[in-house]
Amino acid sequence: MKNRIIIIGMIAFMTLMSCAKKEIKVACVGDSITEGYGFSPQSQLAYPAILGKILGGEYAVMNFGRSATTLQYKGDFPYWTAKEYTNVFNFKPDIIVIKLGTNDTKPRNWKGTEQFETDCQIMIDTFMTIIPQPKIFLCKPVPVFKTRWGINDSTIVYGVIPVVEKIAKANNLPVIDLYNTMIDQGANFFDSIHPNPEAAEVMAGIVAEAIKEE
């Protein structure tokens, strides 16, 4: 009788555990804009941290941003070589938000739309090897309000964004438009490249809305 009660109890516990709602894991891939350059602490003020608060307890959001990184493999600091890239695979996310391309616009990094497109597709393909397969969101980069360090808005508009749109369409991926939705936030980009906490909050809200709509 005692053993029967124990077995029934274990079955009930296992049933409850299986019915418990699993957290949806979100990986935010990006450069310094994702990492939270200029923020202290980044763990509270960077856009992924705010995104986690907006989405709530059903989601576990992790910041995999790394400053200065490029999407292109032959950039001066390719995201592929950063530890954050490997950590995405270890995290096994359900959702990946990719916001790269800003550092690719530097003249020494930009190899043209063809190379950017190739590397973008390869990154998507490699992330798609994660099991179970994650939902990938591609972001149009935020505007560059003034050219600095070679980072420029012209290459964002005529180089990066058309590729993001093309790759998203080819792979049936949702696009998060952080360019047009942030175009009025110039005053909240403290160095014309990086958002301040107010702009990061706007970014987080845009990304959260896109995730919830899917």
Beta bridge partners of 59: 24
Domains delineated in the chain = 23-213 (3.40.50.1110)
DSSP assignment of 37-92 = TT-SSHHHHSHHHHHHHHH-TTEEEEEEE-TT-BSSTTSSSBGGGSHHHHHHHHH-
3-state secondary structure of 159: helix
Give tens-digit pLDDT for 118-138. Answer: 999 999 999 999 999 999 999
List phi, psi (to 5°) of 136: -110, 130
pLDDT at residue 20 tops 90: no
Residue-level pLDDT at 19: 43
For residues 147 and 167, what is the distance between their CA atoms, to the nearest angstrom?
26
Confidence at 21, pLDDT banded by 50, 70, 90: low
61: nearest Cα among 73, 47, 71: 47
